[in-house]
Structure 1
Amino acid sequence: MDGQDRAAAAGSPLTDWVHRPRPDAAVRFAGPGDGWDEWSYERLAEGARRVAAGLRSAGTADGDTVVIVEPTGPRFIQLYFGAMVAGAVPVPTAPPAFGQDLTGYARALAHLVGRAAPRMVVTSAALAGQLAGLVPQPVPVRVDDDVIATADPGPCPGWAPAELAMLQFTSGSTRAPRGVRVPVPALEANVAAIAQWLRMRPEDPTASWLPMHHDMGLIGCLITPVVRQSDLWLLSPEQFVRSPLRYLRCFGVHGARLTAMPTFGLEHVARKVRPQDLEGMDFSAWRAVIVGAERVGTGAVERFVRLLAPYGLDPRAILPAYGLAEATLAVTGLPLDELWTSVPLDPRRVVLDGPVPLAPEAGGALVGSGRPLDGIRVAIVDRDGRELPEDHVGEIVVDGPCLTDGYHNEPPDADTGRRDGPLVTGDAGFLHDGQLFVLGRIGDSVKVRGRTLLAEDVEAALESAGLPRHRQTVLLGMRGDRPTAVVVVEQADPLRLEAAQGLVGRVTEGADLVFVRTGVGTIPRTTSGKPKRRELWRIFLTGQLTTAAAHSEDPS
């Protein structure tokens, strides 16, 4: 099939906007100060067509991968969609963060480039010199402006998306990042399911501060609104951290209605914004705050709503959700106009393949992650793959048109992730009243006296004791023949830490419990804020974490 025939057969709603841009909508990027840099869809589309032409003239062929290393900005959008239009496979990649150790970044980038095997790496002029010394040879590093400047921004006849919409590298929270092969139909299906879930209309503006390089920020808050050509307000994560109030103005002043973030975002807003800062704002049109990427804490939700509700935020706008890269992004989400719910859970009695230990007196609560989106099926199975009834804990299994096509260029002896059937996620959870409740990663658990201790349960106990989630994490595993829980806390308040020790000791009863106090920045995290527990566990086993307090709950 030649290019012209493939264009006719493989045209995608993902790239239709590049050829027919809407003249009356724009993407706005947060600039220095309080200003915004506005880019119309017509201007973005012209740049995307230039990228497509530039990539083809540089020798990029159908199905070639192109690594994109760009900060939040218009060039990222043009390069991502331009690569698709050219028939290439974009590989979105985070640039080095301010102050980041370049040794670690170089190692991660070399791993990614080795797996992606790209035709080229495209980046900004500001980063090109830096990356040229980090990208393994002989992969060329091209400057984005050079790719665009030499090309004719015409209609790109004969060019259409490749079979893959992109390689989406996993966050690396449990193992080295892997390139998930996202077929065009899977991305189309997930974008359509998200739009249907949120009842998205072209006139519904979105605002986001999430990184543009990974699933929640990329698909939920960039691709979906861009494909629908909605008004869009984008800040970088650093801008949000410095000024969450500027992000809130997108909704309370500029009229944005849709967004997504991990629990950390709710916590940061509630911690940094004062009620008097919100005077004059109106959040009554804010329809959806998708909360995902990590287990949703009741405290974070309640504090966020308590701050914004007096200024019009409807508590029903909080939409807990569950998703993963291997299912493109979204799997479940709370329907609009439904109030989020939690169930009382006793983490000391959780057993895989057993009934849910609902126990109001235990004091713990687990927030539901909503119901399966359109076309997606979710089941809970036991160790033998048999489906379990509601209110039984097991492994979450997902099926539907959004499933991806395994991992790209994995070693011959590796699990490639390719599947003919449903996706076995590696996450523990249960169904209750048709809603999915996610307990955590099975790989981040340890068996203690026949029960299953999950890292997320211990972290929830720490949070309830007043230790912020973004300053702590829990590592679980076997040290010798002993189940061990390691609590790592950054810059802990001594009184709160003392209170937490007793509470966590009850949750981890039967395991050796080790508390480690460290400085800020010790806990390695993914771009979505998830702790890299396995990496930190390995560091702990080598003795490189300073142990400030340690005791055994069960020395026998």
Structure 2
Amino acid sequence: MNGNHDFAQLVRSRAAQTPDREALIVLPAYEGRAQPEVVTYRALDEGARRLAGWLQERGAAGERVLIVHSDRRLFALSFLACLYAGALAVPVPPPDGRGHLEARLAGIVKDAAPLLALADGAGAPDVSRLLARHGHGHIPCLATDVVPASGAWHEPDLPGDTVAFLQYTSGSTREPRGVVVTHDNLLANQRAISRVLHTLPGARLGGWLPFHHDMGLIGQLLHPLWLGGSSVLLSPEAFVRRPVRWLEAIQQHRVTVSGAPDFAYDLCARRVTDEQLAGLDLSGWEMAVSGGEPVRPATLRAFAERFAPAGLRPEVLTPCYGLAEATLLVSGAPAGTERRELTADAAALETHELRAPADGAPRRRLADCGEPADGTLLIVDPATRKPLPDGRIGEIWLRGDSVARGYWRRPAETAAAFDGTTAAGHGGHLRTGDLGTCEDGRLYVTGRLKDMIVVAGRNLYPQDLETTVQRLSALFGAATAFVVPGERERVVVVQELRAGARYDTDLAALTSAVGAALTDEYDVRAGAVLLVRPGTVRRTTSGKVERAAMRRLFLQGELRPLHQQIEPDVQELLPAGSLR
């Protein structure tokens, strides 16, 4: 589509070719408060050059720069300025008072060692105080909306293998891992996205996803710019307050491609009222991408049925699979292709087997996530490292131009994840840690090898949830958190009471406190919370919690809790008469 060798050069060429075209259309946080803020390619380019000149004066080329914005326009400006200056952008969520988020930000700062931080004027003092609290008070924080005068910007030499940004999506709260994404990776994935989604030059795309999320950054901000089109941007907070605003934005601003994780489609299907539905026209929506967390066919069906009266065509719903280690998109089912599902025995999937369910047996429907968008995809037996044929479940391995360089300053973890070698000696594969199977060249994701919990498009590590829960009471000892299968994965917490604890304590209140803490800290609703006797949580000889064993005991109904709260959909997974 273009001959640019880095993303910054591409944006500059767009500004030269179509300076007055709308690059960003930023919608107001509250309806009726203001008109959308329009940023042309000329204004975006001029603002990025001005800030990039300031960054270059301070020696930011080749250094990490933390981007901590809630303002969508300022984020775009800061991110592009980093690319213009040859700095490594490090997008992170702005602090919001939640402890786990502050701990994660502190972990990212420790790992990335940024030269400075860029933030909104209103948020810069909070960012500065956070940095100081965690021993990083020497890192200055600039309010991007009041950029001081600086010298002229100089175009850096950016070969394709130059690092563009670090995407911190992996690792636990205190040990985050930054995925190293180069300009070559970024441009290769843009081409892959365009092939799968059939996006056209000048198209309007957009949505509400946060920009520290790879799907929001690459799919909803950078891809429209790569196309020379327009990005229509709603804030995540506005979507959560009133989900119909996402759909109204698609209608009013003629957005052809937008997407979100599964939970957002479910939320819209449940919360958009009949009155709101009557005012919608979604006939112009050409690609509705579902990705970022497991795709539930039932959610897509419910969404399609709910919004059919608004002109939504069911064939525009597009399940995709991706991850930050592959920049973003790995596979997808292009619009107009036949949508397929696999119906599998739910119990067999727990043991990584794929078979048709027996009559009356629990079953799971698996979404067709399409064909690989870039490079090669293998299903590999993780024990033997032998590629598996269609119909067998194994780990998803990838190789291609979109696969990132590795993890920032973590050579051992990079070698383990990014240099998977088959039994035949073919190396250089990304081991995703996800399980799946292929049928007729189409990918179906079935689960995960690792303990990571994916909720609402976010990666959560069980040890973080366990730590949060254990802090609630001095009566709490060992704990484990895991997800249980189903069309929507649910979090289960098993928490031991310490030896000598009084069991006449208000256990119901403690159980409720666990659920409330997970909601407050992580926006996660627990599917089950069990308080158990000491020694219930199994550990290895080295002291590691055996989460897989605890999940199995829970699903078999073999745990004997002192008290429990279990949601009805989780109770249905358990043997009749157990844990009631």
| Structure 2 CA distance for partners of 1:185 and 1:129, relative to 1, 3 Å | same
Q: Does 1:58 align with 2:58?
A: yes
Give the AA of the match of 1:47: G
- Using the TM superposition, give the Cα deviation of residue 299 of structure 1 relative to its aligned residue in structure 2, in angstroms: 2.3
Q: Distance in 1 between matches of 2:246 and 2:376?
A: 34
What pairs with 1:100-115 in structure 2 (closer than 5 Å)? Answer: 100-101=97-98, 103-115=99-111
Alpha carbons 2:68, 2:91 under 8 Å: kept: yes
| Structure 2 CA distance for partners of 1:104 and 1:456, relative to 1, 3 Å | closer
| Structure 2 CA distance for partners of 1:443 and 1:374, relative to 1, 3 Å | closer
Secondary structure of 2:253's counterpart equals coil
What pairs with 1:152-551 in structure 2 (closer than 5 Å)? Answer: 156-158=154-156, 160=158, 163-172=162-171, 176-350=175-349, 354-357=353-356, 359=358, 361-382=360-381, 383-410=383-410, 417-419=417-419, 421-444=428-451, 458-460=485-487, 472-474=490-492, 519-520=515-516, 522-523=518-519, 547-549=563-565
Give the AA of the match of 1:473: V
- Using the TM superposition, give the Cα deviation of residue 396 of structure 1 relative to its aligned residue in structure 2, in angstroms: 1.0
TM-score (norm 2): 0.75
In structure 2, the partner of 1:16 is: 10
| Structure 2 CA distance for partners of 1:427 and 1:475, relative to 1, 3 Å | farther
TM-score (norm 1): 0.78
Alpha carbons 1:390, 1:431 under 8 Å: kept: yes
Alpha carbons 1:398, 1:424 under 8 Å: kept: yes
Q: Distance in 2 between matches of 1:431 and 1:413?
A: 27
- Using the TM superposition, give the Cα deviation of residue 458 of structure 1 relative to its aligned residue in structure 2, in angstroms: 2.4
- Using the TM superposition, give the Cα deviation of residue 411 of structure 1 relative to its aligned residue in structure 2, in angstroms: 8.1
Alpha carbons 2:107, 2:173 under 8 Å: kept: no
Q: Distance in 1 between matches of 2:57 and 2:339?
A: 51
Alpha carbons 1:25, 1:229 under 8 Å: kept: no
- Using the TM superposition, give the Cα deviation of residue 519 of structure 1 relative to its aligned residue in structure 2, in angstroms: 4.1
- Using the TM superposition, give the Cα deviation of residue 329 of structure 1 relative to its aligned residue in structure 2, in angstroms: 0.8
Q: Distance in 2 between matches of 1:180 and 1:200?
A: 26
- Using the TM superposition, give the Cα deviation of residue 477 of structure 1 relative to its aligned residue in structure 2, in angstroms: 12
Between the two structures, name the one with larger relative contact order (CA 8 Å, sep ≥ 6). 1
Q: Does 1:30 align with 2:27?
A: yes
Q: Distance in 2 between matches of 1:196 and 1:229?
A: 16
Give unmatched runs, 5+ long, in structure 2. 420-426, 453-480, 498-507, 532-536, 538-544, 551-560
Give unmatched runs, 5+ long, in structure 1. 1-8, 446-453, 464-468, 480-490, 492-514
Q: Distance in 2 between matches of 1:437 and 1:55?
A: 44
> Which sits farther off after the overlay, 38-47 or 360-369?
360-369
Secondary structure of 1:78's counterpart equals helix
Alpha carbons 1:444, 1:475 under 8 Å: kept: no
Q: Distance in 2 between matches of 1:524 and 1:329?
A: 29
Give the AA of the match of 1:322: Y
- Using the TM superposition, give the Cα deviation of residue 163 of structure 1 relative to its aligned residue in structure 2, in angstroms: 0.7
Give the AA of the match of 1:25: E
Secondary structure of 1:170's counterpart equals strand
Give the number of aligned pairs. Answer: 484
Q: Does 1:140 align with 2:136?
A: no
Alpha carbons 1:15, 1:227 under 8 Å: kept: no
State the Cα RMSD in Å: 3.7
Q: Distance in 1 between matches of 2:525 and 2:450?
A: 14
| Structure 2 CA distance for partners of 1:261 and 1:121, relative to 1, 3 Å | same
| Structure 2 CA distance for partners of 1:238 and 1:170, relative to 1, 3 Å | same
| Structure 2 CA distance for partners of 1:549 and 1:71, relative to 1, 3 Å | closer
- Using the TM superposition, give the Cα deviation of residue 91 of structure 1 relative to its aligned residue in structure 2, in angstroms: 0.6
Give the AA of the match of 1:333: G
- Using the TM superposition, give the Cα deviation of residue 262 of structure 1 relative to its aligned residue in structure 2, in angstroms: 0.5
What whole-Å deviation, never above 9, does each CA across 1:381-406 have from its counterpart, x for those lacking one? 11211011111111111111111111
Give the AA of the match of 1:336: A
> Which sits farther off after the overlay, 345-354 or 187-196?
345-354
Q: Distance in 1 between matches of 2:562 and 2:51?
A: 49
| Structure 2 CA distance for partners of 1:56 and 1:10, relative to 1, 3 Å | farther
- Using the TM superposition, give the Cα deviation of residue 374 of structure 1 relative to its aligned residue in structure 2, in angstroms: 3.5
| Structure 2 CA distance for partners of 1:435 and 1:10, relative to 1, 3 Å | closer
Aligned sequence identity (%): 30
- Using the TM superposition, give the Cα deviation of residue 362 of structure 1 relative to its aligned residue in structure 2, in angstroms: 3.3
Alpha carbons 2:23, 2:40 under 8 Å: kept: yes
Secondary structure of 1:193's counterpart equals helix
In structure 1, the partner of 2:500 is: none
Q: Distance in 2 between matches of 1:546 and 1:250?
A: 49
Secondary structure of 2:176's counterpart equals coil
